[in-house]
Amino acid sequence: MSKVNIIPGELQLDNLRQVMNPKIACVLQQEAKHNVDAATNLVAKIAAQDEPVYSINTGFGLLAHTHIPTEQLAELQKNLILSHATGVGKDLEDDVVRLLIALKINSLMQGCSGIRWQIIEMLNTLLNNNVLPCIPEKGSVGASGDLAPLSHLGCALIGVSNVKLNNEIVSAKQGLQKVGLQPVELQVKEGLALINGTQASTALALSALFKFEKCLSAAMLAGSMSLIAANGRVNVFNANIHRVRRQLGQQQVAKIFRDLLGDYKASTAEGNIVRVQDPYSLRCQPQVMGACVAQMRFAAEILLVEANAVTDNPLVFVDDEQVLSGGNFHAEPVAMAADNLALAIAEVGALAERRVALLMDSNFSGLPSFLVAHSGLNSGFMNAQVTAAALASENKALAHPSSVDSLPTSANQEDHVSMATYAARRLHSMVDNIAYILAVELLADAQAFDLRKNVQLPEKIKACYQFIRQHVSTLDEDRYMADDIEKIYQAIIQGQFQQWIDCNVENFS
């Protein structure tokens, strides 16, 4: 089994991609135990005193002024977990839960949370054995931490609720027993350390980012193929044009198109339509997708910082013997990063849908209407383009910023919230939508190549075309198309188009 070393505060994007894989084991840096133990000892020392310190010997939120007797401090932490486990809806996907656990471990290992090393090891045992708490996806406003989803994580540790083990839902107690663990009795501050933090929203956003990378690879290929299918002009990718614009993302995308298109030139053979200028969805791909790359790069930078951050509350600073209450749990950075990523996702899909629409029009493409012989008897790709349009339009609504919304909670103590968890969660629907749009485009491109005949394809484009044809045959006449679209969608989501162009964000640094 491959391993990822968790060095507190030093995870990289590739580490985060890896921990989502159940075949990857996480190894804790043992040197971190010293700082974790020191913080735990300081919390115990403070708890033994009479002076009220938030969350150590007081209630929470608006109840912070309520003093809790020493003999009830353990019960306080258990009650906190149980009362805040109020999530609803379907459970988070397994890979998101794995990432969430890894992020929580990374935060707790930094020695600012006052939690025992035993709890961190327990989380890591669950992760490495793929015993995954059932965490409902809805119920967090992304302020005071992702309280509801992280409480469901905490419930698994105390033997409450359910976990998923080998794709089967079992009780948390059964899941713990399967890996040699017993429910833990939480000590002072440990419940709050578990449920405060932005790990749910950050895991959702990072997971969507990684899916978008795969879609972006497919979009570069689809855009190149559509240009060829439409007999478009390649001079628009000339490096001089993009150099003087000075936008890094635009220059990088233009180079990708030059590499993919190679020596291709628009055909002047009889029957081909040659245009002086192509529509923007073909001509301005570097400008539009380059801007999307810039947003992706920005979002990745913010999310990587958040993945390595300590975001619970209060925080323990051993050197100064201080426990300070602040607001690191407020997930505004994640919400804004997710909103920016939403813009990029929506625009990639909108551009792809317009390219599909161009290919449907025989007056533009010079190909049979709706890319099928005997159109009229056959409708060809007519309604596949409608599906693409529906999904592109849906993404416009989903791209509305979530971070500008706020609804006070906790009797107005938490009077401004980030809505980061929804901001990140909706990205997954958006990515799915563009993957389907791109599946339609790639199928339309392959169909156009078959209809145009004798078109000379650059090496990578030819390989991509052949890959599509290995999965889906030419549309000679109308047939059930949903399965065709689904096959290419699955190939996109699985990252199979990255073999020709890898659009992981690190490649755009």
Nearest CA to 307 among 330, 334, 332?
334
489 is catalytic: no
The residue annotated as part of the active site, out of 54, 436, 465, 489, is 54
Residue 476 token pair: 């000679």
Alpha helix segments (H runs only) across 262-360: 280-283, 285-307, 332-360
**Cα–Cα distance measured from residue 240 to residue 205, given in angstroms and rounded to the nearest whole number:** 36
Residue 417 token pair: 């919230």
Residue 392 token pair: 């592109």
Judged by DSSP in three states, 296 sits in helix
Q: How many other C-beta atoms can be found within 10 angstroms of the C-beta atom of residue 42?
A: 20
DSSP 454-487: S----HHHHHHHHHHHHHS---SS----HHHHHH
**Cα–Cα distance measured from residue 253 to residue 54, given in angstroms and rounded to the nearest whole number:** 51
Residue 161 main-chain phi, psi, to 5 deg: 75, -155
Strand pairing report for 162-165 and 322-324: unpaired
DSSP 114-147: ---HHHHHHHHHHHHTT-EE--EEE---SSSSSH
Asked if 329 contacts 162 with a C-beta cutoff of 8 angstroms, the reply is no
Nearest CA to 207 among 370, 427, 476?
427
Catalytic residues: 54
